[in-house]
Structure 1
Amino acid sequence: MTYSTLTRVAARLTLLVTGAALIASCGGTPTPDESGSDTTATAEASGDACAPEIAEIDFGIISTESQTNLEELWEPFLALMSEEMGRPVNSFYATDYAGVIEAMGAGKIQIAWYGGKSYIEAAKRSGAEAFAQTVDSDGSKGYYAHLVTNVDNPIVSEIDLEAGDGDRYVIENAAELTFAFNDPNSTSGFLVPSYYVFAQNGVNPNEAFSELIFAGSHEATAQAVANNQVDVATNNSESMSRLQKTDAEAFEQVQIIWTSPLIPSDPIAYKSDLPDCLKEEFQDFFYNISDESVLGPLDWSRFDEAGDEDWNPIRELDIARKIEEIKNDGALSEDDKTAKIKELGKQLEELQ
């Protein structure tokens, strides 16, 4: 994975923490061997088909927008996946990101599309194992978090839009503003702005704003801004592109006022305890899919091979956020701060 500004910032945290502390066996679809024998027929006849106990696949999809919109995007993809894998692949939609994380932990789904933050939570709590990374239709492997407001909100005139310094205005005027994150397990809708906008500046968003809400999805935060229900909200570059296609009128009402460093694009992860042969079938499908008719609506061009460590920059950023929050926690003694930061420092060292 190409290391972004986000990655480099997170990688420098080891020094900061130190200072603070001082204060398969089966495979995919077989092909005939050189003698012309059909190994697929042989395997089926002998009862050796891959994971016959898993008659159907359940695929988890995080709630970046309404289920109706997600179904339109994902059902053609899953239909092709069903056809290629030779067993039904069912969609699993939840009302929040945690629902997909918990479903994998409970064995209700075998595979899922996650964001970076929801993936590291699923890897820690639910046995998720990343094996592929999405690649955008333009060939990039990253996206950006945004802060957005309504184009007619008076605060727009107070911000240098070209410089994108809306984060500074939000920090300085938080007490007079209403604010919306989308989901606490979202990378761009919570983790990234929590660190870069708030934690680095010693601001606790739970206390800073006149009102703070979690709207649920990126679509919901965009609509809340477009309809003047909140002053400022989080969003991201991918979801803004989607909004332009699905609701051009709302899109025209949304003004970007801050943009983050580059965020690694999303993982596809299966449950780590699946049979190796089924993991190989998943890999074969994702590494080789090239059908633009099903990838295009998702704004993807392909999936690249990836591994769990490719999302260590997200883990490092999450640790950075926690460290800054501890530093700024007036309820903690200096000894407690030192102990907590030291423990986080150990976690950070393990990622290096």
Structure 2
Amino acid sequence: MPKGWLTNLRLRSCRWVAFGLVLACLSAPLVQAAQPASAPPDPKHISALTFGILPIGGPSESLAAWRPMLDDLSHTLGLPVHSLSVSTYEGLAQAMAEERVDFAFVSGRLALDAVTHDRMQVIAQLTRTNGSRGYYSVLLVAKDSPLHSVDDMLRQPGHLRYARGEVLSVSGYLVPETQVFANRRLDSDTFFASVTVDNHQNNALAVANNEVDVATNNTADLERFAKRFPDQYDRLRVLWTSSLIPHAVVVIRSDLPADLRQRVATALTSYGKGKNAQAELARLQLIHDISGFTPAGNETLVPFADIEFNLDRRRAYSAQWVSDAAMQARLHKIDNEHQALVRELMAPSTP
């Protein structure tokens, strides 16, 4: 064997290793440039959209109600529109935070979180057949209940059973908590003997079946409840009615391509108004007595920001403070945060 063959072999091996390292260094930046981590979605790669559904009754019931309209939207957009129906407000909030939905039908409180934390924006607000500008939160009792006013209820701390909605529910929690309890320096979770949390339908059934004494609900859901459970509805009576609450909205991911967001907004706001209006309106009726959607932006959420603001202030006034200065500091912080939020919501945004 030639002298020095081992040295030559080692030299050739080192050259091949060095050559491989050079190729790796040259190719690595090319791979990174082709797949930037923070790039917005490419319209050509969006093969489907997922729509999140605010819980109305049970998840399967909500899904069945929305499906005919979503099939029409899919045809109009030329994209499959999948759906995600959950049983709780928190479940839908988590789905939006995790970007598992692209656009969604949500309450004003859920929309606030989606806009301020989850890169979403409002594109439409629902309208109803009766032309109303909103709906009302209510407190329900049994028709034969000895409670005939809010004062009757408030005279019985620690004695009544209460059913309310989730903390993200505007009519099921935020509005009654603000207008009935917090402004009297009370907390519903400690005022009643027991508190259960469920959806509007189940809370109304609980009152009708004498499982609770008082429950939150709203006028829109009660209309639907009356049609589905007429016997149970006849056992109910409204004890209290809130001020007007604006209707729910549709939000969409703001990192989707602008032209796609505009197409979705146009498809929604024109639905029930074109040549197939009669058939489309019939499909909308399946959902929640909806007559259609009107164009809207983030400014639509200001009334919901005000509700949250008023609740925070009233809770601050009723809390225990080490000094008046500490309370004033908290109130000042609440005021500043609210003003900043309103400015954010009022800032111009485009679909």
Per the shorter chain, which TM-score range? 0.7 to 0.9
Q: Could you tell me which of 169, 175, 178 is aligned with 1:195?
A: 178
Residue 331 of structure 1: CA displacement?
5.5
Instruction: Describe the SS at the equivalent of 1:154.
Output: coil
Deviation at residue 69 of structure 1 after TM alignment: 2.2
Paired residue for 1:325, among 315, 327, 334? 315
CA 1:71–1:336 in 2, change beyond 3 Å: closer, same or farther? same
Task: Work out whether residues 134 and 141 of structure 1, in 8 Å CA contact, stay in contact via their aligned partners in 2.
Answer: no
Instruction: Give the 3 Å change call, closer, same or farther, for CA 127–174 of structure 1 in structure 2.
Output: farther
In structure 2, C-alpha distance between the alignment counterparts of 1:55 and 1:225, rounded to whole Å? 46
Counterpart of 1:184, as a letter, is V
- Shift, 1:168, TM fit: 2.5
Instruction: Tell me the SS of whatever aligns to 2:52.
Output: strand
Contact 1:101 1:126 in 2 (8 A): no
Structure 1 match to 2:328: 338
Q: What SS does structure 1 have at the residue aligned with 2:331? A: helix
Q: Which residue of 1 aligns with 2:285?
A: 296
Aligned to 1:63: 55
Q: Offset at 1:95?
A: 2.1
Identity %: 27
Structure 1 segments (4+ residues) deviating >6 Å: none
Over the residues paired in the alignment, what is the CA RMSD in angstroms?
A: 1.5
Give the gaps of 5 or more residues in structure 1: 1-49, 160-165
**Structure 1 equivalent of residue 154 of structure 2:** 171
Which residue in 1 is equivalent to 2:239? 257
1:284 and 2:284 matched = no
Instruction: Quote the residue 2:68 is aligned against.
Output: 76
1:232 aligns with 2:214: yes
Cα distance in 2, alignment partners of residues 312 and 218 from structure 1: 24
Q: Which residue of 2 aligns with 1:209?
A: 192
Q: TM-score, normalised by structure 1?
A: 0.80
Question: Alpha-carbon deviations, 1:205-261, whole Å to 9, x = none?
Answer: 12111111212x111111111111110010000100110111112211221111101
Structure-2 separation of matches of 1:126 and 1:61: 16
Query: Residues of 2 paired with 1:93 and 1:146: CA distance?
Result: 25
Query: Secondary structure of 1:174's partner?
Result: coil
Unaligned runs of 5+ in 2: 1-41, 273-279, 344-351
How far the C-alpha of 1:190 sits from its partner, in A, is 0.7
Partner of 2:35: none
Matched position secondary structure for 2:44 = coil
CA distance in structure 1 between the partners assigned to 2:266 and 2:57 by the alignment: 28
Offset from partner CA, 1:266-306 (integer Å, 9 cap, x none): 11110111110110111110110012121122211121111
CA distance in 1, matches of 2:104, 2:223: 22
How does 1:78-227 map onto structure 2 within 5 Å?
A: 78-155=70-147, 159=148, 166-215=149-198, 217-227=199-209
TM-score by length of 2: 0.80
Residue 36 (structure 1) aligns with:
none
CA distance in 1, matches of 2:109, 2:322: 26
1:127-166: CA deviations, max 9, x gaps?
22111010111112200000001113332xxx1xxxxxx3
What one-letter code is carried by the residue in structure 2 that aligns with 1:305?
P
Aligned residues: 293
* Match of residue 316 from structure 1: 306
The residue type equivalent to 2:212 in the other structure is V
